[in-house]
Amino acid sequence: MSRRGRAGVTDPSRRSLLRGAGLLGAAVAGGSVAAPVAAQDPTDNAIPVREALENLTALEAETLEAATMRILPSDENGPGALEARAVHYMDRCLGSHLRDSNSAYATGLNALHEQALQRHGRAFAALTGTQQDALLAAMEAGELDGFAPDSATFFELIRDHTIEGTFSDPYYGGNRDFIGWDLLGYPGIRLGASPQEVARGRDLPPNHRSAFDNAVFTKSDNRGR
């Protein structure tokens, strides 16, 4: 299957797309980016590389981020859920439209952490990619204990939300730098599309606009309509 992915990259239209987004040569080794929070110097005053957490605990966010990086990895085909900040979307939206999932997240992420400790003696985020994949596959198959209602349901939940976080409008905190939309070849939010624009498909240059970059959805037009 990675052969299919590379074949996609040699497609001229895709190559130009990736170059346009500055992604060629930006391969990131999955798993090595997320430095466990505990390993960082707590007195470090440098600008933080992560957003402040609003709903998840630090350990939950770290575990979740590691899982999203295996679901939608950063690899030879470019950045993934990590760079798109899918976890930032999930953390923020657990305070709004995902709030009904708060207890499933708390239960599930702590269960995943405990499974990693029991099997490997290390936090989930500190495992190798192969070890993480094996745990996620067992989770997807419903084989892990400690989840509510079960591990398969929780896997589907975080898969859905990883997709939402990577491919939603950037307004909600994910899809940073339009990484998700560029990955799909989606040319972006437009308030109209001509037949000529439609006909260009993914060759239409991406406009990198949020829906809310359009004043019509954020400002009054002073006409009371």
Interface positions with another protein (CB under 8 A): 1-2, 4-8, 14, 30, 70-73, 75, 77, 80, 96-97, 133, 136, 140, 159-160, 163-164, 166-169, 171-172, 180-181, 183-187, 189-193, 195, 197-202, 211-212, 214, 216-217, 220-221, 225
Q: How far is the CB of 49 from another protein (least distance, A)?
A: 23
Q: Which is nearer to another protein, 115 or 168 (CB)?
A: 168
* Other Cβ atoms closer than 10 A to 189: 17
In this structure, what token pair is assigned to residue 66?
């590691």
Q: How far apart are the C-alpha atoms of 158 and 55, rounded to whole Å?
A: 15
DSSP state of 78: B
Q: Which is nearer to another protein, 58 or 205 (CB)?
A: 205
Q: How far is the CB of 146 from another protein (least distance, A)?
A: 21
- The dihedral through the CA atoms of 147, 149, 150, 151 has a sign that is negative
Q: How far apart are the C-alpha atoms of 6 and 215, rounded to whole Å?
A: 40
Q: How far is the CB of 42 from another protein (least distance, A)?
A: 33
Q: How far is the CB of 4 from another protein (least distance, A)?
A: 6
Q: How far is the CB of 127 from another protein (least distance, A)?
A: 15
* Other Cβ atoms closer than 10 A to 207: 12
Q: How far apart are the C-alpha atoms of 56 and 51, rounded to whole Å?
A: 12
Q: Which is nearer to another protein, 59 or 163 (CB)?
A: 163
- The helix or strand, by DSSP H or E, that contains position 2, with its residue range, turns out to be helix 2-10
N residues, the chain: 225
Q: How far is the CB of 43 from another protein (least distance, A)?
A: 37
In this structure, what token pair is assigned to residue 202?
């993914």
> Do 105 and 94 touch, CB atoms closer than 8 A?
yes
Q: Which is nearer to another protein, 154 or 167 (CB)?
A: 167
- Burial (0-12, 13-18, 19+ Cβ within 10 Å), 78: buried
Q: Which is nearer to another protein, 41 or 100 (CB)?
A: 100
Q: Which is nearer to another protein, 5 or 38 (CB)?
A: 5
